[in-house]
Amino acid sequence: MNKSIKEKLELFQERNQNRGRLLVSCPDQPGIVAAISKFLFLHDANIIESSQYSTNPEGGIFFLRIEFECPSLIEKGKQMKEEFIEVAEKFSMEWNLIHVHQVKRIAIFVSKQLHCLRELLWEWQSGDLMAEIALVISNHEDARADVEGLDIPFYFIPANKDIRKQVEEKQLQLLKEYNIDVIVLARYMQILTPEFVGAHPNKIINIHHSFLPAFVGARPYERAYDRGVKLIGATSHYVTNDLDEGPIIEQDIARVDHRDNVERLKKKGASIERSVLARAVKWHIEDRIIVHQNKTIVF
């Protein structure tokens, strides 16, 4: 890993040894926030940030994200998780208590178009993407110089539909070997099998170069041009077995007109794709996203 980036990550980990995040979803009912606040108070924790949302106060689903400081959290974390089970069972919670200092390890998949990869690498170099980019996997050689120039392992694995099973076996082995937490498809132009997707539920983030649900699948800019659209966009979403229909994390748009040919649409779209994917990845590593059915709550 690049020395300056390593130093930034080490400083981040040192500063956040006592910081935790708690994500909760459960049936809405009175007393949830009070019970959680009391639990944190009894463990000498101080709430730094709290966000909540209910789909319906009467019979809906309640979502909560709390960030807190707690003395000696590393030593107390296991005990806190064990004791929180009682609170969680009382309210039928799905929950996760996360140590902020344990930065997430990212694998980036990319093909020939490098603008999204380069945006993520820039955010990482600048210290705005607090994660470890553990490796980059590509079915083309185009990204090698960008990646290896930052001391990130680069794996060239040719891929097509005829050898997909063998390719994914290699990829899954690398993901296991590098202990990957999240996979980012930065314009990786291959369809993943159900087996691959099933091994990483809500852990694969994709960027699609259209404003979904418009223009699902291949060649969206060409189809947008043929349709004469006045807006183009990009969508970052979690990958499911339904092509480009997973839970949407972030979207953005730009206005276009009759003077824009396909190449100009692509150029304008690339800028949107970069920023949309970067925001989605940041929100994921900051534990700001809760997936509910085929939607996301983003705090």
Q: What's the rounded Cα separation, in Å, for the pair 113 and 140?
A: 10
Q: Are residues 153 and 182 in the same domain?
A: yes
- Rama region for 35: left / alpha / beta (φ>0; ψ in -120 to 50; rest): alpha
Indicate which residues carry an active-site annotation: 244
Residue 52: which domain range?
9-99
Q: From 99, 122, 154, give the residue that closes a domain.
A: 99
Q: Are residues 127 and 253 in the same domain?
A: yes
Q: Are residues 184 and 268 in the same domain?
A: yes
Mean pLDDT of 6-24: 96
Q: From 99, 123, 141, give the residue that closes a domain.
A: 99
pLDDT of 152 higher than 70:
yes
Residue 64 near residue 84, CB atoms below 8 Å:
no
Q: Please give the share of the chain, as a percent, with pLDDT higher than 90.
A: 96
- More confident site: 195 or 57: 195
Q: Are residues 67 and 210 in the same domain?
A: no
**Domain membership flag for residue 1:** no
**Domain membership flag for residue 4:** no
> What CA dihedral angle connects 51, 281, 285 and 14, to 10 degrees?
-120
User: Where does the pLDDT of residue 4 fall: very low under 50, low under 70, confident under 90, or very high at 90 and above?
Assistant: confident
**Whole-prediction pTM:** 0.96
Q: What's the rounded Cα separation, in Å, for the pair 229 and 53?
A: 35
Q: Are residues 145 and 185 in the same domain?
A: yes
Q: Domain holding 20: CATH number?
A: 3.30.70.260
pLDDT in tens, 221-266: 999 999 999 999 999 999 999 999 999 999 999 999 999 999 999 9
**Domain membership flag for residue 137:** yes
Q: Are residues 288 and 151 in the same domain?
A: yes
Give the number of domains in the chain: 2
- Burial class of residue 92 (count of CB atoms within 10 Å of its CB; 0-12, 13-18, 19+): exposed
Tokens 């099973």 sit on residue: 165
Mean pLDDT of 114-138: 97
Q: Are residues 94 and 25 in the same domain?
A: yes
Q: From 99, 134, 166, give the residue that closes a domain.
A: 99
Q: Are residues 119 and 209 in the same domain?
A: yes
pLDDT in tens, 177-190: 999 999 999 999 99
What's the 3-state SS for the chain? CCHHHHHHHHHHHHHCCCEEEEEEEEECCCCHHHHHHHHHHHCCCEEEEEEEEECCCCCCEEEEEEEEECCCHHHHHHHHHHHHHHHHHHCCCEEEEEECCCCCEEEEEECCCCHHHHHHHHHHHHCCCCCEEEEEEECCCCCHHHHHCCCCCEEECCCCHHHHHHHHHHHHHHHHHCCCCEEEECCCCCCCCHHHHHCCCCCEEEEECCCCCCCCCCCHHHHHHHHCCCEEEEEEEECCCCCCCCCEEEEEEEECCCCCCHHHHHHHHHHHHHHHHHHHHHHHHCCCEEEECCEEEEC
**Domain membership flag for residue 284:** yes
Q: What's the rounded Cα separation, in Å, for the pair 104 and 39?
A: 26
Residue 90 near residue 35, CB atoms below 8 Å:
yes
**Domain membership flag for residue 2:** no
Q: Are residues 130 and 27 in the same domain?
A: no
**Domain membership flag for residue 220:** yes
**Domain membership flag for residue 83:** yes
User: Where does the pLDDT of residue 1 fall: very low under 50, low under 70, confident under 90, or very high at 90 and above?
Assistant: low
Q: Domain holding 158: CATH number?
A: 3.40.50.170
Q: Are residues 203 and 88 in the same domain?
A: no
**Domain membership flag for residue 3:** no
Q: Are residues 159 and 14 in the same domain?
A: no
Q: For residue 41, which amino acid is it? A: F
Q: Are residues 191 and 223 in the same domain?
A: yes
